[in-house]
Amino acid sequence: MKALLLSEYKRLAIAELPTPAPSAGEVLIQVAACGICGSDVHGYDGASGRRIPPIVMGHEAAGVVAAVGKGANSYQIGDRVTFDSTVYCGLCEFCRRGDVNLCDRRQVVGVSCGDYRRAGAFAEYVTVPERILYRLPDDLSFSDAAMLEAVSVAIHAVRVAEINGAETALVIGAGMIGLLIQQAAAASGCSRIFVTDLDATRLELASSLGADAIIDGSRETVASRIAQLTESRGVDVVFEAVGRPETVAAAIDCARKSGTVALVGNIAPEVSIPLQKVVTRQIRLQGSCASAGEYPQAMEWIATGKIKVAPLITAVAPLDEGPSWFERLYAREPNLMKVVLDPRAGGEQDGAPA
């Protein structure tokens, strides 16, 4: 089969690899779409240490069941499916209570980090355990389905922030995840949602997706603008979708007393926090990692239009163009959002509306 192989750091090319066979409990999927994730781009040059070559990356995928292994009886050849990027064991303490993102034996598809190596979906075929599969609704296109992981991450952040409805929210960072959190927060009933970023184009996108106010952090101080917008109270919930010292500090400044700061971004491994502000204003800092069972909700909200993914897809391209798209993403070319690769020869249509 054809696959996009990272043979050494920053060396990505189409290679001919053996088509894998599904083991017991696994299914073989013919990949129809696979999104390039920020984590793939961060792994590409070795920065994250989580894509040690040789590795076929890619974990945001959808496709068609091509073969089933022994005991994998819930799916049939031809079923349209997607899968959780996390391969969880289903048995440990955390899996048993539904926190599959925190599985003791967690692996991620398309990752090699020293502890394990698991081939990903930038290839014509990939094998994954049956238990992480989800059936796709007929009217969800494969390219939209490649957005499900990112949408699930956003919904998870909103869930762990414990939105009950009517909260005011601030999203820091209008990248892919931030713009999806904005929409998930709206779908969850937040009354007013503000979005801040340094990039005017991204802020325009936030505006067109329904943000009640956008704040250009390169021109104004976020905390003072939030004070104006909330009669000096601060917002109920801040979603921090960047993960740098200055944005975490801004998040804490913008939360109301006893408010919540949901920490989603983590570009910097360490930041210092204004401890006394957090303690004396009794702010809750809540980490949010990946997703834990939010895929069905994500499918429903995309299907009903509560979450729009089309404006976030920059391009759907054949697998052969993968190396050049990685280069462009790695070079931080402006205005690129999600790039979805389609490994099918000639990019056949999937019959679903684009």
List residues near Zn ion by CB under 5 A.
37, 60, 88-89, 92, 95, 103
Q: Which is nearer to Zn ion, 60 or 130 (CB)?
A: 60
Pairing of strands 80-83, 86-87: unpaired
Q: Cα–Cα distance between 261 and 251 in angstroms, integer?
A: 7
Q: Which is nearer to Zn ion, 194 or 325 (CB)?
A: 325
- Rounded to a whole number of angstroms, the minimum distance from the CB of residue 352 to Zn ion is 22
Q: Which is nearer to Zn ion, 80 or 106 (CB)?
A: 106
- Rounded to a whole number of angstroms, the minimum distance from the CB of residue 108 to Zn ion is 8
- Rounded to a whole number of angstroms, the minimum distance from the CB of residue 289 to Zn ion is 12
Q: Which is nearer to Zn ion, 34 or 158 (CB)?
A: 34
Q: Which is nearer to Zn ion, 196 or 291 (CB)?
A: 291
- Rounded to a whole number of angstroms, the minimum distance from the CB of residue 2 to Zn ion is 22
Q: Which is nearer to Zn ion, 151 or 170 (CB)?
A: 151
- Rounded to a whole number of angstroms, the minimum distance from the CB of residue 300 to Zn ion is 20
- Rounded to a whole number of angstroms, the minimum distance from the CB of residue 90 to Zn ion is 6
Measure the CA angle with vertex 77, ends 73 and 82; round to 5°.
85
Q: Which is nearer to Zn ion, 151 or 254 (CB)?
A: 151
- Rounded to a whole number of angstroms, the minimum distance from the CB of residue 87 to Zn ion is 10
62 touches 80 (CB < 8 A): yes
Q: Which is nearer to Zn ion, 62 or 95 (CB)?
A: 95
- Rounded to a whole number of angstroms, the minimum distance from the CB of residue 228 to Zn ion is 36
Polymer length of the chain = 354
